């Protein structure tokens, strides 16, 4: 079965690992968010692509849930001591990847090509494609002003409420090579449990990707990133409350309006018999446990998603 998953780097990467464990090598293509990318200390960092790479290869720090296991921080300490920019956490092992990627980009290699090379180095069983090779950057408008994504997320600890999200460059961006082909060849499409505004939104902002999903003839299944009406981590719950008006499955479904056939939600969010869906009644709800506390839970959720995708 050929599957395309749209994913950020957190919850998305863990469901992707569950799917990769279940599917045959070559069946899974992950389209990753690049709206969080940034240039820091002269390095091009792609946090979501890297989280996918680290999670799928087993290099991720499972406790921190980002960056590499066994990481050390000598470079960053030295940067700080020399008066350099040290607000963005870059570990020593992590820097190695950024150096290799940045050099390749400077030599004219596309982001998709260098991502494929990196994935090849760690022997991944699936393909990771950036949504686009073009420059696409998420910005957030808050009551304290408008910020570049990482300035708000890391620099300000995402403490400001978000009123609007903008994907700078999306209008001119083309899908990276392979993305449209993967979507056209897919037997199903999955939106991972990633932030709808910050991870899935920037991918769908590439209009040819959105169009390909709108025109698909196969099922598209989204997994809610909320458990008990709240994000497992990060600002998705707060953002949905403020920007969409609520955090019930109805509001999550509404954030993917016209794009999905089914929404997988946690048992704790299952609507009662008396609750009538108001915003997206045509979307089928699939109720299961969606908290991925270990590899077994990732695989169990992946199985439910695959079943919903084949229904
Ligand atoms: P980011 O790029 O690191 O923000 O990663 P994502 O957007 O892929 O993931 C962040 C989202 O994953 C958050 O909204 C979390 O609520 C969600 N998430 C994290 N762990 C889990 C989990 O175990 N289950 C579910 N359903 N969502 C999760």
Contacts of 6 (CB under 8 A, 6+ apart): 12, 31, 189, 190, 191, 192, 194, 200, 203, 204
Residue 279 is predicted with a pLDDT of 62
Token representation of residue 98: 């950024």
Residue 282 is predicted with a pLDDT of 85
Q: Whose alpha carbon is nearest atom 3 of ligand 1?
A: 10
- Cα(54)–Cα(68) distance, integer angstroms: 7
35 Cβ below 6 A of ligand 1: no
The residue to mutate among 193, 289, 298, 299, having the most atoms of ligand 1 within 8 angstroms of its beta carbon, is 193
CA 5–ligand 1 middle distance (angstroms): 14
Q: Whose alpha carbon is nearest atom 20 of ligand 1?
A: 11
49 Cβ below 6 A of ligand 1: no
CA 61–ligand 1 middle distance (angstroms): 15
Residues of the chain with pLDDT under 50: none
116 Cβ below 6 A of ligand 1: no
32 Cβ below 6 A of ligand 1: no
Residue 311 is predicted with a pLDDT of 86
Contacts of 72 (CB under 8 A, 6+ apart): 91, 92, 93
CA 294–ligand 1 middle distance (angstroms): 14
Report the nearest atom of ligand 1 relative to the CA of 223: 26
Residue 146 is predicted with a pLDDT of 98
Report the nearest atom of ligand 1 relative to the CA of 48: 2
Strand partners, 32: 7, 130
Give the CB-side neighbour count of residue 180, counting CA atoms within 13 A: 13
Q: Which CATH number fits domain 3-310: 3.40.50.10680, 2.60.120.10, 3.40.50.1000, 1.10.1740.10?
A: 3.40.50.10680
CA 201–ligand 1 middle distance (angstroms): 14
- Please say whether the beta carbons of 18 and 299 come within 8 A: yes
- Cα(222)–Cα(216) distance, integer angstroms: 15
CA 194–ligand 1 middle distance (angstroms): 5
48 Cβ below 6 A of ligand 1: yes
Q: Whose alpha carbon is nearest atom 25 of ligand 1?
A: 225
CA 49–ligand 1 middle distance (angstroms): 14
The residue to mutate among 49, 149, 233, 244, having the most atoms of ligand 1 within 8 angstroms of its beta carbon, is 233
Q: What are the structural domain ranges in the chain?
A: 3-310
Contacts of 38 (CB under 8 A, 6+ apart): 44, 45, 47, 88, 137, 148, 149, 150
18 Cβ below 6 A of ligand 1: no
């Amino acid at each position: 079965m050929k599957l395309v998953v749209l994913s950020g780097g957190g919850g998305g990467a863990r469901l992707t690992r569950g799917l990769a464990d279940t599917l045959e090598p070559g069946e899974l293509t992950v389209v990753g968010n690049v709206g969080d990318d940034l240039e820091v200390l002269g390095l091009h960092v792609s946090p979501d692509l890297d989280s996918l790479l680290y999670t799928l290869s087993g290099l991720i720090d499972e406790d921190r849930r980002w960056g590499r296991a066994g990481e050390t921080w000598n470079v960053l300490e030295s940067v700080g001591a020399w008066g350099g920019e040290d607000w963005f956490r870059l570990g020593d092992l992590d820097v190695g990847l950024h150096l290799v990627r940045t050099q390749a980009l400077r030599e004219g290699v596309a982001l998709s090509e260098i991502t494929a090379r990196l994935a090849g180095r760690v022997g991944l069983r699936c393909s990771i494609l950036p949504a686009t090779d073009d420059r696409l950057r998420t910005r957030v408008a808050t009551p304290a002003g408008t910020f570049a994504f990482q300035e708000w997320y890391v620099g300000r600890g995402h403490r400001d409420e978000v009123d609007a999200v903008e994907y700078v460059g999306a209008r001119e961006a083309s899908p990276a090579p392979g993305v449209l082909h993967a979507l056209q060849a897919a037997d199903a499409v999955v939106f991972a449990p990633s932030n709808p505004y910050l991870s899935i939104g920037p991918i769908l902002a590439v209009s040819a990707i959105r169009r390909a999903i709108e025109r698909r003839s196969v099922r598209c299944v989204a997994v809610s990133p909320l458990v008990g009406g709240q994000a497992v981590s990060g600002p998705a719950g707060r953002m949905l409350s403020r920007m969409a008006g609520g955090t019930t499955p109805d509001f999550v479904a509404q954030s993917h309006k016209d794009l999905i056939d089914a929404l997988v939600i946690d048992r704790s969010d299952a609507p009662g018999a008396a609750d009538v869906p108001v915003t997206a009644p045509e979307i089928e709800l699939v109720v299961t446990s969606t908290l991925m506390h270990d590899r077994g839970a990732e695989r169990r959720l992946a199985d439910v998603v695959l079943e919903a995708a084949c229904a």
